[in-house]
Structure 1
Amino acid sequence: MVEDVGTQPNRVTAELAHLQLRELLAEVQGRIEQIVDGTRGRMDALLDAVMAVSSGLELDATLREIVCAASELVSARYGALGVVGSDEKLAEFVYEGIDEATRDMIGPLPTGHGVLGVVIDEAKPLRLRDIAAHPASVGFPANHPPMRTFLGVPVQVRGEVFGRLYLTEKLGGQEFTEDDEVVVRALAGAAGIAIENARLYQHARRREQWQRATADITAELLGGVDPGKALHLVASSAALLAEADFAFIALPVGDGEDTDELVVAVCEGDGADVLIDKVIPVDGSTSGSTFVDHEPRNVSRLAVNLAEGTGLAFGPALVLPLGGGESTAGVLILLRTVRAIAFDEEQLDMAASFAGQAALALEQAEVRLAKHELDVLADRDRIARDLHDHVIQRLFAVGLAMQSTHRRSVDPTVAARLADHIDQLHEVIQEIRTAIFDLHTNDESLRATLRSTINELTADTGLRVSVRMSGPLDVIPAGTAGDAEAVMREAVSNVVRHARARELSVTVSVDDELVIEVVDDGIGIPEVVARSGLSGLANRAAESGGTFSVSAMDTGGTRLVWSAPLP
């Protein structure tokens, strides 16, 4: 059979068309396989990223992992996650791609202005070819690396916006695509769940730490720790748990809650000691407001700048009442540095609870201390009564018996020895009486003050010092007690500086009047000293209606006597 020659070109054309179609289909199939492979690879990368951000429970680490995963997913050079605060501004900014040296040169972290603010305000994704071309763009600060392409996606936790994920500078100079946006939105959804889990864990751990600290503080305070140390313990523990840089405790000046001023009594933090004794006015200050209305406060800065003139710089603050109900013993102030992130409401609640419990423990510790002091005083009274009612009475009986024996003695030697023993017995009785008076006084008594003054002035002088005190020194009026201390200081210091003495004898007695006698074996006091320093002692005696005299002794040395009548 002979084929028609005219049909051959048509067959060739058909075969060529089929061949081209096969090649096109093969190319399309290859492209589809590439897309599928690319999509599968991107989905695998997304799943890996979701697993990475969901594996941790530390909030800070989780936020950083989210930024790193998002940057890697869409090949972004720079990434950041801005955490939105209660004022709808960025309270925290976690970034990736900028080294610390560049970060320091840039200055303060963003707070949500410009394009970043658009993502915050509109709460929806934003994809830009050029950041600078957007109407809301406000430019970049000095030393900021150049950024052109931009992708911003909100991150939600339980339906509320937690923060914004920002990505810039896609590698290769390309724009962020719609696929990039879809992938990042998917990651943001998973990130919200991871953030919620991390926040729950952080909340539970924080509460446990605060509760443990409260229990430890209470145990320390009720264990009898010194009140000053107790306040330092409260301040340091609160600063550590609240992640604060500084902690202060301000106490009222003068008349409790009716005071007009607070004074800083406790400081914790580097360089914070410069604020010790710093006075804070109650009127117009954040601390004063908390002291008056007993309400805890979380503020961006204090109304009165405590750091003025100190070289310190304070930023966010928690101001907490030390007490509860209608009574406040003071104010606990926790501070961060000027550029630090603000305290959150959870920290405010926990710190306020801690401060209230610490104040209650302080109050209980003071009650226990007062009870202990009352118990000690009761023991002292009991011992004093026993000494007076039993020991002294028996000694008196012995003394009377010895006096009776002395009168009947015919041997002069025996009589002399009995008289000497009787005198010694009277001295013992007088010393016991002095001990009884000591038992009725505390460590801040006039007796202790005078002894402390004498020891202070004669230490390392080589003087042989004898001190004798008798009578109820610690019941004399406060004004006379002040005069007594001044007289003792002036008289003893004159002996130390001018007398060149080897021995010093001090006698203080109280009967109808207070009498101070200071005797030395030195060369006497120069006339110039007698005219100047001793004139003050004479004036004190005259003002109180007493007497004052200085005289040279026949055996050498000087005798000073100062007296003041008692009511």
Structure 2
Amino acid sequence: MDAAALSLDVLLEELLRRVREVTYGRERLSGLLDAVVAVGADLELPAMLDRIVTSACKLVDAGFGSLTVDGPDGTVAAVHTCGQDTGRGGRGTGGRLEVPVSVRERAFGTLRLANDTDFSEDDVRVVGTLATAAGIAIENARLYDISRRRLCWLEAAAEITDLLLGAVDRRAALRLVAQRARETSRAALALVVVRDPDDMSQVVVEVADTGSGELPIVGDRVPLTEDALGMVITRRMPAQVADLATVCAWPTPFESGPALLVPLSTSETAYGALIVITDATYSSAEIGLLEAFAGQAALALDRARAQQDRAQLAVLEDRDRIARDLHDVVIQRLFATGLHLQNVVHLTRDIAVVDRVNSAVDSLDATIRDIRASIYALHGGGFGDLRLGVHTAVEAACDGLGFRPTVTLAGPVDAAVPATVRPELLAALRELLSNVTRHARASEVEIAVVADGESVELVVRDDGSGLGHARPRGGLLNLAERARKLGGMFRVEAAEPRGTRVTWQVPLL
């Protein structure tokens, strides 16, 4: 073969090589564009991270790929993989490629690829370009997720606002608040804790929403201290904790975890806190959305309290009207009737008739005294009225029980029971009703409040499962301690034919 023929062969080979490079370059560019389009095709972040790994493996024919997402404090938040890791990329066994993925110049994670053969410099450049595009797509997915969650919070807040336009059922409102908070924050559990109106040094778990029912911690009372929960309520500042179970001395154990706590308060009143248990990390903007939602919930509590105050005021006005009618009409008529009967005595000499008339006059005098005592009790009632408080507590328990308990009030309950005892008795009633709701599985509850000149006694009897051989604990021990401090007694016993009978009694002297 002469020199001219050799030169022609070399020229043809060089030409074919360059044609292959151009073709390969175009295919690589087309593959990169396809990968970028695939990565940004869906804004759901978990699915997007899976597609980033899959597209990277496909782009450079890698046998295995992983995307490690960085967590706080150097931890690993998540790992997304593609293919089988068979030890590729070990020393002397093939190639390994690592490319950082950044979002807004902040480290997000690391894309790692492994293969049986080494990666070329062109592979490194292509995967680096894909990682840059992935960072932009991840930021877009994050912004989309924040916008969508903001819309969900606004819709949830609007639902609470709609609730404020009508009559507010306090417990139903709190249940709705917990449900929407759990759903919108994608939490496993949402709690609403509210300060006890009878003892502001503790909070009560009003709602514990899991999506499949309420936990037995509902009704538990927790001391309000300088822990994270106490600071959220008193200082009205949000807080994130690593484990909610370690924050307070919860009487009833429950499955806990990382939690976000926000105050449930208005500009004037700190009601309590809204708590969501979730592994998610919240930005300051997202915490602000949850705070705004909790603020709407606090307005619902404000409205419920205002409605209750108006109802109590209406009761007081009605009492004043009844008292006036009794004094101005009924007593005057009875007094006139007594005078007429006394005049009748002078018209007869029959001893039997005289005795019967005098007995009737005495009965009228006793009736007048009873009516005057009732008038005094009616005028003496106020916002601390025990009768109204008992009925309010029973009404609040009806939803959880599924029926209305029977209530008996005997004696001068309002007039005889002092202001120091009333809140203790109402707290005992609420605790006992809460226990029946959570544990007894009862179909009937009887409540009796009896006051005489020496003591006031609260008796709650149910036909539920009873205590069995279990000893009183938690809230029941607190009730016993409260009764002891007031010089009274507390007794739990089996009811006949089944159920439990609880007696809480304190002296009035």
Q: Give TM class, smaller chain.
A: 0.5 to 0.7
Letter in 1 for 2:5: L
Instruction: Supply the distance in 1 between the matched residues of 2:68 and 2:269 (Cα, whole angstroms).
Output: 41
Letter in 1 for 2:416: I
Q: 1:161 to 1:47 in 2, by over 3 A?
A: same
Instruction: Supply the distance in 2 between the matched residues of 1:427 and 1:468 (Cα, whole angstroms).
Output: 22
Which runs of no fewer than 5 residues in structure 1 stay unpaired? Answer: 1-12, 100-127, 134-146, 453-466, 486-507, 517-542, 544-564
Alignment of 1:550-561 (within 5 A): none
Instruction: Supply the distance in 2 between the matched residues of 1:332 and 1:211 (Cα, whole angstroms).
Output: 17
Instruction: Supply the distance in 2 between the matched residues of 1:90 and 1:311 (Cα, whole angstroms).
Output: 29
Per the alignment, residue 444 of structure 2 pairs with none
Match of 2:208 among 267, 275, 290: 267
The TM-score with structure 2 as length reference comes to 0.63
- Partners of 1:395 and 1:425 within 8 A in 2: yes
- Partners of 1:287 and 1:319 within 8 A in 2: yes
Letter in 2 for 1:156: S
Is 1:27 aligned to residue 13 of structure 2? yes
- Partners of 1:294 and 1:321 within 8 A in 2: yes
Q: 1:303 to 1:404 in 2, by over 3 A?
A: closer
- Partners of 2:262 and 2:290 within 8 A in 1: yes
Cα offsets for 1:313-357 (capped at 9, x unmatched): 533221222226686332332223xxx454444432322332233
Per the alignment, residue 274 of structure 2 pairs with 332
- Percent identical pairs in the alignment equals 38
Cα offsets for 1:255-286 (capped at 9, x unmatched): 877x3x55544322279724442636624x33
Partner SS state of residue 352, structure 1: helix
Query: Superposition RMSD on alpha carbons, in Å?
Result: 5.0
Match of 2:108 among 163, 178, 181: 163
Match of 1:354 among 288, 293, 318: 293
Partner SS state of residue 317, structure 2: helix
Letter in 1 for 2:52: I
Larger gyration radius, structure 1 or structure 2: 1
- Partners of 2:245 and 2:256 within 8 A in 1: no
- Partners of 1:239 and 1:245 within 8 A in 2: yes
Letter in 1 for 2:261: V
- Partners of 2:97 and 2:114 within 8 A in 1: no
Cα offsets for 1:505-559 (capped at 9, x unmatched): xxx998xx7899xxxxxxxxxxxxxxxxxxxxxxxxxx9xxxxxxxxxxxxxxxx
Count of residue pairs the alignment pairs up: 414
Match of 1:152 among 74, 94, 98: 98
Alignment of 1:47-446 (within 5 A): 47-85=33-71, 87=73, 89-97=75-83, 130=89, 149-158=95-104, 160-161=105-106, 163-170=108-115, 173-220=116-163, 223-252=166-195, 259=201, 262=203, 264-269=205-210, 273-276=215-218, 277=220, 279=222, 282-283=225-226, 285-302=227-244, 304=246, 313-323=255-265, 328-336=270-278, 340-394=279-333, 397=336, 444-445=386-387
Instruction: Supply the distance in 2 between the matched residues of 1:49 and 1:81 (Cα, whole angstroms).
Output: 15
Q: 1:423 to 1:481 in 2, by over 3 A?
A: farther
Cα offsets for 1:409-467 (capped at 9, x unmatched): 9999x999999999999999899779865795898439989xx9xxxxxxxxxxxxxx9
Q: 1:149 to 1:286 in 2, by over 3 A?
A: farther
Q: 1:279 to 1:37 in 2, by over 3 A?
A: same
Cα offsets for 1:451-493 (capped at 9, x unmatched): x9xxxxxxxxxxxxxx9978x55311449999xx9xxxxxxxx
Per the alignment, residue 498 of structure 2 pairs with none
Cα offsets for 1:271-303 (capped at 9, x unmatched): 9724442636624x3323333433212233358
Cα offsets for 1:369-417 (capped at 9, x unmatched): 21332133223322432344235545655676677679769999x9999
The TM-score with structure 1 as length reference comes to 0.58
Per the alignment, residue 523 of structure 1 pairs with none
Instruction: Supply the distance in 1 between the matched residues of 2:21 and 2:455 (Cα, whole angstroms).
Output: 109
Which runs of no fewer than 5 residues in structure 2 stay unpaired? Answer: 395-407, 426-449, 457-486, 488-506
Cα shift at 1:89: 4.3
Q: 1:468 to 1:67 in 2, by over 3 A?
A: closer
Q: 1:468 to 1:53 in 2, by over 3 A?
A: closer
Instruction: Supply the distance in 2 between the matched residues of 1:190 and 1:174 (Cα, whole angstroms).
Output: 25
Instruction: Supply the distance in 1 between the matched residues of 2:455 and 2:308 (Cα, whole angstroms).
Output: 36
